[in-house]
Chains A and B, each alone.
Chain A
Amino acid sequence: MAKRIDVSGLSAYYGAHKAIDDISMTVEPRSVTAFIGPSGCGKSTFLRTLNRMHEVTPGGRVEGKVLLDDENLYGSAVDPVAVRRTVGMVFQRPNPFPTMSIFDNVAAGLRLNGKFKKNELADVVEKSLKGANLWNEVKDRLNKPGSGLSGGQQQRLCIARAIAVEPDVLLMDEPCSALDPISTLAIEDLIGELKERFTIVIVTHNMQQAARVSDRTAFFNLSAVGQPGKLIEIDETERIFSNPSVQATEDYISGRFG
């Protein structure tokens, strides 16, 4: 199910401000690709262009192409709702629906996409919660509100919610930045398991995390504040962290700036 993403010549704007400039890259299926770079370099903006979430921000606008297995996400006949269903997303802060139970949170996406018999729904919810390594912790309180869980559990609930609809790609926008180290570890382990089934793209501020979880790493940078962010290079994670081809990458990774 996992799909390849081919980006070419992609720029994104907030109103008149250009946030990212002319990015082209390929994201391999069944792998984890990490985006790193200093704050404001546009890596989160770029991530949000991959499921057409950028355009819901007021003034948000995109130029260029994103091919998902040869189909352009920005093609004129493409329905953004279908794109977001195919390309799931996990956000920086856990955002379960506050008024819904744990069960309903996971089932929310499924219910949007059609009618299910009760036991089918329960099967998918169980499978998704197991896939998110949360099942054992919540199986006795599926009808309790999701907002009662801890931060790490909430984030795994959001992951369960995202994978329940069987997306082709899973985007993660700094999924651990609001979590403690133990929860972070749990999520990182989970990412390792999920890449067997999904194409995963993760934005992170934490370079160790990028080194631990990703197969390939992309480094973004901006020449000055107010300038658009650019892709500096993308390569195997090992090479980026040991022997990058661009000096700026090495400076950033070795902590000389950013």
Chain B
Amino acid sequence: MSHVAVQDARPATPAPRKGSLSARSLPRWAGAGFAVVSIALAIGIGLAFDLQSKVQWGLIAALLFILVSYAVTTAVENKRQAKDRVATSLVWVCFILAVIPLASLLWTTISRGTKVLNGYFLSHSMAGVPGFETGGGVYHALIGTLEQVGIATLISAPLGLLAAVYLVEYGKGTLAKAVTFFVDVMTGIPSIVAGLFILTLMLMFDLGPSGFMGSLALSILMLPVVVRSTEEMLKLVPNELREASLALGVPKWRTILKVVLPTAIGGITTGVMLAIARIAGETAPIMLLVFGNQLINTNPFQGAQSSLPFYIWEQYRVGSDAAYDRAWAAALVLIAFVMILNLVARGIARWKAPKTGR
């Protein structure tokens, strides 16, 4: 049986056969070497053929990298090692392919966003500033975002918490199963559909646009996220704690309020904050329901408002350089807001994680 394998592998190098465990092998830096060679070749080809797009250069380099890895490894080692090397190269290429656009996104936002970002930008609205001129700021949008997101949180955090408590502490049977399934499905509702749903309510009751309408749509998006994360956290609370409390004669609802929820509170907070971070960047529902406003409107229940993501969209649509600068600056503010929420949330999760966690 083994002679077949040997015939197959022999042409390149002696296969690791009985008596010989050693095989010619490439040095450890071979991968890096291939990468350097392919990048150099790709730059050469790019210059020689006058390819304008750097995207092409990158793709050529990636392709060369894989081909060179395969060819050299086949020649020096063997086919199996070559396949292994190609897989490794591919995985690295995937990683770099993904990192480049993401890094570019962050870099562009930071470098272009810092142009007009200053105290004035943060403390002034767009009142009286024509879109194509410089000046103006995001103050009104900041207020809008904070109010809309705040109200959405006030609605969906308690609802989501209670629903999760129901699923974990009481839930059995078809109702719980249905809720679990639809929570999952609800996570996938596109934000624009949530916006359209609230729009049907507005049409039905003849309501005008306001920050509150946006909050309603946002809370539909937030609710399933809160339920799911809270559920996960409550499941981590060990049953012994519940039983110990119940055995002392404490009623179940007090057990939940005084024992279960406090134990899981760190994780629950994290979940809520991550949900806030998610909805803070939603534009579509705001566009349909809050309409946008150049002026400061601090009343979320009356009249159109703006919000950070909507402001970015608005400025992008103006299309002048000054407006693009404002869009980037607002994008930077928004990303900073979302990232800080994320980092703080994960920090809380790490500090307050139940000690029973794996």
Q: Which A residues are within 8 Å of any B CB, using their own CB? A: 1, 68-69, 71, 73, 75, 77-79, 81-83, 85-86, 110, 112-117, 120, 123-124, 166, 168
A-B contact count (CB 8 A): 59
Q: Mark B1-44, 1 if CB is under 8 A from A, else 0.
A: 11011101100000110111111110000000000000000000
Tell me the count of chain B residues lying within 8 A, CB to CB, of chain A: 19
**Min CB distance, B294 to chain A, in Å?**
57
B80 lies within 8 A of chain A by Cβ: yes
Decide if B1 touches A79 in the complex (CB within 8 Å).
no
Q: Which residues from B are CB-within-8-Å of A110?
A: 1, 5
Decide if B25 touches A79 in the complex (CB within 8 Å).
yes
Known A85-B16, A112-B80; contact A166-B21, beta-carbon cutoff 8 A: no
Q: Which residues from B are CB-within-8-Å of A78?
A: 21-22
Decide if B21 touches A79 in the complex (CB within 8 Å).
yes
| A82→B84 CA distance, assembly (Å) | 14
Closest 7 CB pairs of A and B: A114-B5, A82-B16, A77-B22, A114-B8, A82-B21, A78-B21, A79-B23
Which positions 29-88 of chain B face chain A at CB distance < 8 Å?
A: 80-81
Known A79-B23, A82-B21; contact A115-B80, beta-carbon cutoff 8 A: no
Decide if B22 touches A166 in the complex (CB within 8 Å).
no
| A1→B18 CA distance, assembly (Å) | 8
Residue in contact with A86 in the complex, picked from B5, B9, B21, B81, CB distance below 8 Å: B21
| A71→B9 CA distance, assembly (Å) | 22
Q: Looking across the interface, which residue of chain B has its beta carbon closest to that of A127?
A: B1
**Min CB distance, B124 to chain A, in Å?**
54
Q: Which residues from A are CB-within-8-Å of B2?
A: 113, 166
Known A77-B25, A82-B23; contact A168-B4, beta-carbon cutoff 8 A: no
| A68→B1 CA distance, assembly (Å) | 23
Known A78-B21, A78-B22, A79-B21; contact A114-B4, beta-carbon cutoff 8 A: yes
| A114→B1 CA distance, assembly (Å) | 10
| A85→B18 CA distance, assembly (Å) | 10
Q: Which residues from A are CB-within-8-Å of B15?
A: 114
**Min CB distance, B16 to chain A, in Å?**
3
Most buried by A among B21, B23, B24, B25: B21
| A66→B2 CA distance, assembly (Å) | 25
